């Protein structure tokens, strides 16, 4: 059991952490919540009367969603906000100017994503960051694939509306 859970952890911890970090205000909180997700998952796997989990990925995202909701409920109903610090994915030889431009763009997208409703945030994160298929997203949300495709389309439109147009960006 522990070997199987270790494989599940290794396979999904990055995706679950990335999902959470985009929905909370700090990396530390995201790390704590990610740990809680896997602790809850292990607890569910250890229950003897529990039916086997058919889709581990969907199961983990469900737990992550509930864990995030619980976290915000405990914080007196605060809305989901983006974290304030941006992660850079640049290589070390990138220039400081390039790095600051990318950081500004990431922060702008993060802020725009934070202004979207929760469902739209989830669709964008799952589809474009975690690269899940519409079928996988449908399994996570319990929606039809058609509803997921429409939701993704609407989410992208809402995100685009939140981002500054190229003419608004100073050169």
pLDDT tens digits along 88-98:
333 333 444 45
Q: How confident is the model at residue 86 (pLDDT cuts 50, 70, 90)?
A: very low
Which SS3 state, helix, strand or coil, does residue 144 take?
coil
The reported pLDDT for the residue numbered 96 is 47
Percent with pLDDT over 90 in the chain: 17
Average pLDDT, the chain: 77
pLDDT beyond 50 at 163:
yes
Given a cut of 90, whether residue 104 has pLDDT beyond it is: no
At 49 the pLDDT is 58
Could you read off the pLDDT of 6-57 as tens digits, one per residue? Answer: 888 889 999 999 888 888 878 888 899 999 998 888 887 777 656 677 888 8
Q: How far apart are CA 65 and CA 132, in angstroms?
A: 16
Q: Helices 145-162 and 96-114 sit at what angle, rounded to 10 degrees?
A: 120
Residue ranges and CATH numbers for the domains of the chain are 1-81 (1.10.1740), 91-164 (1.10.10.10)
């Amino acid at each position: 059991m522990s070997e199987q859970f270790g494989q599940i952890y290794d396979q999904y911890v990055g995706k679950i952490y990335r999902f959470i970090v985009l929905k909370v205000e700090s990396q530390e909180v995201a790390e704590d919540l990610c740990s809680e997700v896997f602790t809850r998952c292990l607890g569910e796997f250890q229950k003897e009367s529990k039916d086997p989990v058919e889709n581990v990925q969907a199961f983990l995202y469900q737990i992550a969603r509930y864990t995030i909701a619980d976290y915000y409920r405990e914080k007196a109903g605060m809305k989901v906000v983006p974290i304030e610090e941006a992660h850079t994915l640049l290589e070390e030889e990138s220039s400081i100017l390039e790095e600051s431009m990318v950081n500004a763009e990431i922060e702008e997208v993060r802020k725009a994503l934070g202004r979207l409703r929760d469902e739209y945030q989830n669709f964008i994160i799952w589809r474009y960051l975690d690269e899940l298929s519409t079928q996988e997203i449908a399994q996570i949300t319990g929606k039809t694939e058609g509803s997921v495709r429409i939701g993704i389309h609407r989410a992208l439109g809402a995100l685009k509306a939140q981002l500054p147009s190229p003419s608004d960006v100073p050169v």
